Amino acid sequence: MNANPLMPTLGRLVEVRDLATEIKLLRVEMQNGGGADFQNFQPGQFVFVSAFGLGEAPFGIANAAGRGPLVDFAVARLGSVTTGLHELDVGDQLGVRGPLGNSFPMAKFKGRNLVVLGGGIGGAPLRPVIQHVLDHRGDYGKLTILWAARQPSLLIFTDEYAEWQAAPDTELHLTVDKPEDGWGHSVGLITQLLEKVSPSTRNTTAVTCGPPVMIRNVTRMLAGMGFAPEDSYVTLEARMHCGLGKCGRCNLGEKLVCVDGPVFSMAEVGNLLESY
């Protein structure tokens, strides 16, 4: 008899961190280490997290494997499942199903420069890329991080910026749409920041994640700057229910975000983003 692929593995919430206004980082210890599947999840993969009684929803895994036994997710409180997750206490059990989806081709990125663009909570699935690069610093070229949010209180992982900036050959640029008192960095959209930073396209791959509007605008700008479609990657969010390619909900043209993605190169989905 086949195992039920929709059955979650149980995990226990061991730490909750406030990342930003209404955004929390949940750190989960998988039961029995989560088995083989969870030992080496790859940057870009996602899981379904269950707030039992309310439902489950997909979240990008927000850390790189190998940094400890915990699995991180960034949860913005927007609906019933995310509210349920926000209301969990340390010690509560929850469900985790995965890791699902494909991952960033980190092997292909070796030796190249990387430009990482994260908008709002879209930065969460990019954190494993940053962490992977930092943990294997010698394998990768220059790392340029552009990090944006609507306002300073919505920037995530602020307590890690120092670590990122301190790494060799690594730059971090921040921008917000609406500054607050004491904001000393750029003001404006991430596209404006991108224009200002103007990274070289030579031997460089760009990786973008954020709200749909941002993905469309940034990837268009990157293409205009000379990034070839094979060198521009996105990770997409979509409304999902099964995450296994069965329920049909997350399709982008003939591609399913949950099994063909969530990581795509623009060569694969460039023409499909209009309906995203």
Partner 1 sequence: MRKTNADGKSWLISQAELEAWLDSISNARSLIAPRQVSGTVLYRPVSKINEIAWPGGRPGKSSASPRPVLSVKEIFFPPTERLFKIQKTGQEIHLEEAYPDWETVVFGVRPCDSRGVKILDALFLDTNPVDSFYARRRANTTIIGFACKEMGPTCFCTSVGGAPDDAQDVDIMLYETEAGYLAEAVTERGRFLIPAGEWRETTNSPETSITIEQFPVPENGKWPEHFNDTYWTRMSERCLSCRACAYVCPTCHCFAIRDELIGPGEFDRIRCWDSCAGANYRRLAGGHRGRPEKAERLRNRFFCKFYYYAEQTGLGNTSACTGCGRCIDVCPVGVDITEVLQDLERPA
Partner 2 sequence: MSFEPKIIAFLCTWCSYTGADSAGIARIKSPANIRAIRVPCSGRVSPELVLRAFDQGADGVLVLGCHIGECHYETGNHRAAKRLPILQSLLTFAGLETQRLRLDWVSASEGERFARIATEFSDSIRELGPAHWKVPAEPRAVQEDAFTWGHETVPYPPMDFASKTEAIRRKAKELLESGQVGCVIGYELGPRQRTRPTFVYSPEDTGRLVWNPDCSHNLTSYLPDKLKAHSPGQPAPAVAVVVKPCDSRAINVQLAENQYARKQVHVIGLTCEGLRDKQGNMQARCITCQEAAPVVCDTLIEGDSSGFIPRLSSSTDETLVELENAAPAERLEFWLSQFDRCIRCYACRQACPLCNCPTCLYERDDSTWVGLGIGLNEKRTFHLGRAYHLAGRCVGCDACERACPVNLPISLLNQKLAGEIEKAFGFRAGVAVASSPIVTVLSGEYKED
Distance CA(266)–CA(276), nearest Å, equals 13
- Which listed option, partner 1, partner 2, none, makes contact with residue 267 (CB within 5 to 8 Å by class)? none
Is residue 139 a contact partner of residue 111, using CB atoms and an 8 Å limit?
Answer: yes
Residue closer to partner 1 (CB basis): 158 or 251:
251
Q: Which of residues 57-116 bind partner 2 (CB under 8 A)?
A: 79-80
Q: Edge to edge, what strands does the sheet with 55-60 contain?
A: 55-60, 46-51, 93-100, 9-20, 23-30, 70-76
Taking the complex as a whole, the smallest distance from the CB of residue 54 to partner 2 amounts, in Å, to: 8
- Which listed option, partner 1, partner 2, none, makes contact with residue 69 (CB within 5 to 8 Å by class)? none
Distance CA(185)–CA(62), nearest Å, equals 25
- Which listed option, partner 2, partner 1, none, makes contact with residue 35 (CB within 5 to 8 Å by class)? none
Residue closer to partner 2 (CB basis): 78 or 90:
78
- Which listed option, partner 1, partner 2, none, makes contact with residue 162 (CB within 5 to 8 Å by class)? none
Nearest in space to 48 (alpha carbons), one of 92, 90, 11: 11
Tell the residue number behind the tokens 């890690």, with chain if given. 160
Residue 196's alpha-carbon distances to 3, 130, 146, 191, 199, in angstroms, are: 52, 21, 11, 9, 9
Residue closer to partner 1 (CB basis): 5 or 33:
5
Backbone phi and psi for residue 144, each to the nearest 5 degrees, phi listed first: -115, 120
- Which listed option, partner 2, partner 1, none, makes contact with residue 91 (CB within 5 to 8 Å by class)? partner 1
Nearest in space to 38 (alpha carbons), one of 3, 65, 14: 65
- Which listed option, partner 1, partner 2, none, makes contact with residue 231 (CB within 5 to 8 Å by class)? none
Taking the complex as a whole, the smallest distance from the CB of residue 79 to partner 2 amounts, in Å, to: 6
Taking the complex as a whole, the smallest distance from the CB of residue 70 to partner 2 amounts, in Å, to: 29
Residue type for 150, please?
A: R
Q: Which of residues 179-198 bind partner 2 (CB under 8 A)?
A: none
Q: Edge to edge, what strands does the sheet with 186-187 contain?
A: 186-187, 170-176, 143-149, 113-119, 204-209, 232-235, 263-265
Residue closer to partner 2 (CB basis): 80 or 271:
80
DSSP annotation string for 1-30: ----TTPPEEEEEEEEEEEETTEEEEEEEE
Residue closer to partner 1 (CB basis): 96 or 116:
96
Helix (H, G, I), strand (E, B) or coil at 60: strand
Taking the complex as a whole, the smallest distance from the CB of residue 2 to partner 1 amounts, in Å, to: 4
Q: How many residues bind partner 2 (CB under 8 A)?
A: 3
Does 247 interact with partner 2 (rule: CB under 8 A)? no
Residue closer to partner 2 (CB basis): 52 or 183:
52
Positions in the binding site for partner 1 (CB under 8 A): 1-8, 10, 50, 52-57, 76, 78-79, 81-82, 89, 91-95, 211-212, 237-239, 241-242, 244-249, 251, 253-254, 256, 275-276
Distance CA(103)–CA(248), nearest Å, equals 20
- Residues of this chain that interact with partner 2 (CB under 8 A) are 54, 79-80
